Amino acid sequence: MRVHVVGNVCVDTTFRLERFPQPGETLNASDHADGLGGKGANQAVAAARTGADVRFRAAIGNDAAGTWIRQQLSRDLDAGHLTTLPLPSDRSTIMVDARGENLIVTGAACAAAFDPLADFGFASSIERGDIMVMQGNLRPDATTACLRAARGAGAMTIFNPSPLAAGHVPDLSAVSLAIVNAGEATQLTGAGDADTAARDLIRQGAGAAIVTLGAHGCLVAGGKGRIDRIAAPRVAVVDTSGAGDVFCGCLAGCLAAGIDLTAAARIAVHAAAISVGRAGTLGSCPDRREMKMLMETTEAKTA
């Protein structure tokens, strides 16, 4: 199976502080660095590191940052499917405190203008049995159109609707698997507990749903009402930014390798646990050797 990831890519600038600043307050960071980021890019790279054949589609600007982004992506996957727009490349500022919690602000001109279906080679490249992964960074209408096109072509569609668009309820009718965190699950369903929220997401149209629960792992809800709970290993948290993207990308890559959903979620939980023990967003993602080991050892324990 081929994994198509459609979303955004940006330059991440991460600042490390003891605590977050109050309104109007200026704090000096103990460290700062630039890195590749964006939920789409993070998930695409995580999927590629599982060994999956990944095609990543996103928009970059016609500037030096866009050239740098293309070069960085080329280390992990084919960057030939990026679209260049006459705009500044997208950027994110990430603040990480001493507990590993983060605050993120993104400038997303390229993501807002990107229309994947305008590339006539996109829809025709999706084949029956492929997997398509999307997030909430593109315009809702573009996201819905892509999901419908992929589902119509016979692909499995994975939707991680983060960030949630204000005032917009995502259309899950063309979604094979919805992946949300606990806060997003409550926002989308109004349910106070993850079990009910997962079932509500299925009632809204998703074929299956996963609710990620941070240090408590995740729960997997299938279309027949079964719910599997997966615990996360205990780790010392350094930085939680990007952990959800590692989970989503790893999961997609495992599914493409023929691993069943529950076992794939278990592997993805362990991959995310590795990432929160490291600094950075994409920089914290397990490498190919680590992913291979996780896929072999974690799956073996569940066989």
Residues assigned a catalytic role: 245
DSSP alpha helices (H): ranges in 164-287?
182-189, 194-203, 243-256, 261-276
Instruction: Give the Cα separation of 187 and 182 in Å (integer).
Output: 9
3-state helix, strand, coil in the chain (%, to 5): 40, 25, 40
Residue 96 gets the label, from left (phi > 0), alpha (psi -120 to 50) or beta, of beta
Instruction: Give the Cα separation of 97 and 15 in Å (integer).
Output: 9
Instruction: Give the Cα separation of 41 and 22 in Å (integer).
Output: 31
Distances (CA, A) of 16 to 57, 82, 105, 198, 242: 30, 30, 15, 34, 15
Name residue 179's beta-bridge partners.
210
Closest to 271 (Cα-Cα) out of 190, 224, 212, 193: 212
Q: Are 46 and 248 in contact (CB under 8 A)?
A: yes
| Alpha-carbon dihedral sign for residues 96, 91, 270, 277 | negative
Q: Are 299 and 267 in contact (CB under 8 A)?
A: yes
> What tokens appear for 268 in the block?
């993805």
The secondary structure of residue 73, as a DSSP letter, is H
Cis peptide upstream of residue 21 (ω within 30 degrees of 0): no
